[in-house]
Structures are given as C-alpha cells and as structure tokens.
Amino acid sequence: MPSSLQPVLDRIATEIQALPGRGRPADYIPALASADPRHFGMAVAELDGTVYGVGDWQRPFSAQSITKAFTLALDLSLDGELLWEHVGREPSGNPFNSLVQLEYENGIPRNPFINAGALVVTDRLHALTGDAAGTLRAFLRAESGNDRLDFDEAVLASETAHGDRNAALAHFMASYGNITNPVPTLLDQYFRQCSIEASCADLALAAGFLARHGIRSDGSTLLTRSQAKQVNAVMLTCGTYDAAGDFAHRVGLPGKSGVGGGIIAVVPGRCTVCVWSPGLDQRGNSVAGVAALDRFTTLTGLSVF
Ligand code: DON
C-alpha cells in the first residue's frame, strides 16, 4: 500500500471516468432530481484527520440515508442494548422503503438502515435528546470541523411534500406501539436529518469514530469498541439495502449509501472513505461510487477480509 493515498485516489478517478453520468439521480424526492450525474468526488480520512481527496470532494451534496449510520451510533450511545428490542439487525432483502415485512414482523423493522428502522432510531433519539436532527447536526459539525454544515431547506420541503411512503411506515409502526413521538414530529425530524448537506471530506471525517473503534476526533468515547463493531457489522450486512451482498462482494467494507449518491465506507483501524456521484442504480446506490470503492479496495488491499 502506498504511504500516501492521494495517488490511489487520482488513479481511481481516471479509471472510472466513464461512469459518472451513468445511472439516474433519485427523482421521488423532486429536489434531488436536478443533480448533475456527472459529478464525482472521493475523500479518504485517516485516523488522525488527514484527508485526501479527488474531484468534487469538497462540494456539499444531500447526505440522505448516510445519516442513518450516524443516528444509529448516537442512539446506541444513549440507548444501549434496549435499542435492539425495537429494531432488528438482519438484512431485509427488500427495497429501502418497503412496507411488506412490517406487518408479519409486528412493527419491528428488520434493521436500522431501511427507512422503517431509521424512523425507529430517530424516534428514540428524539425522545432521548429532544432534538434528534439538531443532535446529529452538532455531531457532524464537531467531527468534520465544518461549522457551516447544515440542513437543506429546499430538500426538506421537497421530501416533506412527497413523504407519503415514510408517513405510512411511521403510522404503521405507531399502531404497534413502536413509535414514541407524534408521527408528524417524527417525520419532520427524519426528513430534516436526511436533508443534511455535507461534502465527501465532511462525511469521511465525521465517520472517523467508526474506524477508531468508537473514539471521537477529540479523544472522547462515543461508542464502546463492541458497539462500534455492531454499527460496522450492520453497515456491512444492511448498509446498501437489497444490494448489500453485492456491495460486500465487490467492496469488502462496511458501507452506507444514500439516494443523494453518496456512500461512506469504513476500514476499521485504518481510515474512512466517502464517495459521491448522483447517478444511482436500480437499488438506489451510486453507480460510480460503488465502482470507485471497488477499485479502492482492490488497489490498496484495504478490506475487512
Ligand atoms: O426517506 C427517504 O426515502 C430518503 N430521505 C432517504 C432514502 C435513502 O437515501 C435510501 N438510500 N439509498
């Protein structure tokens, strides 16, 4: 492995240059549909906060479901094992916004990364903190060092206006007693969380605690080593939805994707990676992003396997 990861990132950007532009930006949230699929950025953050980047690595994009990895960690740090009584940790094999399993599994979502599971996590974090989205934003600002990192009000309004599927999931789980806050309050918190705008550099730095076995950038402990392992394990098995098997096969790292076209990936004990390119495949993962992570682990040998 090279001493600096910069040449690796430069090589990946060249090798995959035909891919940005393939796939389609998400359009079920209209504010995301206008993203230019030709964007591509990639950043790697080492454990000490050194960051390497290529392409649009400093340009903010809509973090969307990437935030689910952070809210899971924040809730786990407060809720502990109790969380796992309210959400499972098995891959769903279904699309991220699917409703089908919820009825025969009694309102307990399969895992924290499908939308139903993320709604439960945000609900619990909101009950414990009084401001789930604000807690998330404060954490991302502190870890990335970017005080301007914020919610995107246009994306928030757009998703709120087209949020019927998430509203259905939340109401259905509330009917089983698995939601604490009023559903409209929860939906506002969840949509706000998803609307966070951040760059590859911001998100790679903010995910650093997952590579440092739960330790934050200031040396304090967010998660125990065991809890950090839990979050990484659920990212590996469930972080890219019904494509998690293919992602593990190609990339070999815990990863979490979002429909804004970003993906974070973790090399425990070594570094974190964030890629972004808005063109998505049919399962909601960035086409160029997955390819770039595939090349990253192949070229560096950095994988959990
Ligand atoms: O709730 C939603 O549908 C979006 N705010 C987030 C979905 C998402 O990013 C799934 N990722 N691939």
62 annotated ligand binder: no
Closest ligand 1 atom number to CA of residue 64: 9
Burial 292-301 (b: 16+ CB within 10 A, else e): bbbbbbebbe
Ligand 1 center to 115 CA (angstroms): 7
- Which residues on adjacent β-strands are paired with residue 55? 41
- The residue contributing the CA closest to ligand 1 atom 7 is 65
Residue for token pair 């918190």: 189
Residue 253: predicted pLDDT: 98
Q: Would you say residue 1 lies in a domain?
A: no
Q: Would you say residue 55 lies in a domain?
A: yes
Q: Would you say residue 192 lies in a domain?
A: yes
**ipTM associated with this complex:** 0.96
Contacts of 81 (CB under 8 A, 6+ apart): none
Does the CB atom of residue 259 touch ligand 1 within 6 A?
yes
Amino acid at 125: L
d(C-alpha 25, C-alpha 32), whole Å:
7
Query: What is residue 221's DSSP assignment?
Result: B
From the list 120, 241, 266, 275, the catalytic residue is 241
- The residue contributing the CA closest to ligand 1 atom 1 is 115
Residue for token pair 């090798």: 15
Residue 166 is part of a domain; what is its CATH number?
3.40.710.10
Residue 207: predicted pLDDT: 98
Burial 252-268 (b: 16+ CB within 10 A, else e): bbbbbbbbbbbbbbbbb
Nearest to 259 by CA among 63, 80, 115, 98: 63
| Alpha-carbon distances, residue 112 vs 60, 93, 157, 179, 249 (angstroms) | 25, 14, 24, 14, 21
d(C-alpha 89, C-alpha 169), whole Å:
18
Does the CB atom of residue 62 touch ligand 1 within 6 A?
no
Q: Would you say residue 98 lies in a domain?
A: yes
Does the CB atom of residue 257 touch ligand 1 within 6 A?
yes
Residue 93: predicted pLDDT: 86
Q: Would you say residue 166 lies in a domain?
A: yes
Handedness of CA 70, 72, 73, 79 (dihedral sign): positive
Burial 16-28 (b: 16+ CB within 10 A, else e): beebbbbbebbee
Q: Would you say residue 305 lies in a domain?
A: no
Probe residue for ligand 1, chosen from 194, 240, 287 as the CB with the greatest number of ligand atoms within 8 Å: 194
From the list 144, 190, 256, 275, the catalytic residue is 190
Classify residue 162 by burial, with Cβ atoms within 10 Å: 0-12, 13-18, 19+: middle
List the chain pLDDT tens, one digit each, 305 residues.
456 899 999 999 999 999 999 999 999 999 999 999 999 999 999 999 999 999 999 999 999 999 999 999 999 999 999 999 999 999 988 888 888 999 999 999 999 999 999 999 999 999 999 999 999 999 999 999 999 999 999 999 999 999 999 999 999 999 999 999 999 999 999 999 999 999 999 999 999 999 999 999 999 999 999 999 999 999 999 999 889 999 999 999 999 999 999 999 999 999 999 999 999 999 999 999 999 999 999 999 999 99
d(C-alpha 267, C-alpha 259), whole Å:
22
Probe residue for ligand 1, chosen from 115, 121, 189, 240 as the CB with the greatest number of ligand atoms within 8 Å: 115
Tokens of 243: 């494509």
State how many domains the chain has: 1
Nearest to 75 by CA among 129, 140, 115, 116: 129
Q: Would you say residue 223 lies in a domain?
A: yes
β-strands 61-62, 262-267: how paired?
unpaired
Domain with 84 in it: 6-300
- Greatest alpha-carbon pair distance for the chain in Å reads 54
Q: Would you say residue 222 lies in a domain?
A: yes
pTM: 0.97
